[in-house]
Amino acid sequence: MMNIFICGFDEKYTKELEKVIQEELHLANEESIKYRLFHDGPIELIKALNKNVLNGLYFFPIRMDGPYNGIEIGQKIRQLDPLCKIVYITSLIELTGWIINNKIEVLDILQKKAPELLRSDLYECILETHKRNGNSNNIRNNCISINCDEEILFLRMSDIYYFETSTTPHKIIVYTIKGNFEFYGKMKDICNKSSSFFRCHKSYIVNLNNIKCISKKSRMITLGNDLTCFFSEKAYRDLINEMKNLIEFEVTEIS
């Protein structure tokens, strides 16, 4: 499902953009493109992104009314939806350098004109987004997001070693290739994020893909970067079975 956001234009222009987009997709008979249109203001847009309404194609101007300008909203969108596709529709083409200087990766910058005259450009942006989303599905499915203080971190599954309950109530520590991060969460919710995450102890969840060694004697798991965590006696047999299924050949157990 592609989410198409139209934000920051006046009501008349927004409705015209929406009408042209719907007509172009209907005329092209693009049944493979499933989409939803959103046309709220910047604050409502941020709220939608915080609810994980992602996978977006965003149309907005550089100059807009409200608490954000087009550059600021672009930066905010990029933070919340890293794989987003941003298209500026603006009469201020001379400010293109401003966009580049603020490191906002954009799909296109269109000269503002009547939406009727932007038909082919809008359609091409939608088709390109649809194509890129297809190529990025594997990347998206292999990442998880965590709310860490005032930031949202996007972590690749392969970069995660294990999770541990923190001494701070209701917090979890995740150990990754890039460092350790603490966030609010529940261990049971972590297990549901990937079949590679295994609850080996009431205080630990391990990424099966990054296990290097399992010591039955010390009840210790060694992972990449020589990190270690413990497993419970009760979890041992299930842990070994999970590893056998994962690597598809016999696991030799060494006490």
For the domain 2-141, what is the CATH code?
3.40.50.2300
Return the pLDDT at 250: 46
pLDDT at site 30 = 61
Distance CA 127, CA 159 (A): 32
How far is the CA of 169 from the CAs of 14, 48, 145, 238, in angstroms? 46, 29, 20, 28
pTM for the whole structure: 0.54
Which CATH code fits 143-247? 2.40.50.1020
Annotated domain spans of the chain: 2-141, 143-247
**What pLDDT shows up at residue 139?**
46
Domain 2-141 and domain 143-247 have a common topology? no
| pLDDT, position 213 | 92
pLDDT of the chain along its 255 residues, tens only? 678 899 889 999 999 999 999 888 887 766 667 677 887 788 888 877 776 666 789 999 988 877 888 888 888 888 888 778 999 999 887 777 777 777 778 899 999 999 999 999 999 999 888 887 765 554 445 678 888 776 777 788 888 999 999 999 999 999 998 889 999 999 988 988 888 899 999 999 999 999 999 999 999 999 988 899 999 999 999 999 888 877 654 445 555
Beta bridge partners of 36: 3
Strands (E), the chain: 2-6, 35-38, 56-60, 85-90, 108-111, 143-148, 151-156, 160-165, 171-176, 179-184, 197-201, 204-207, 211-215, 220-223, 228-230
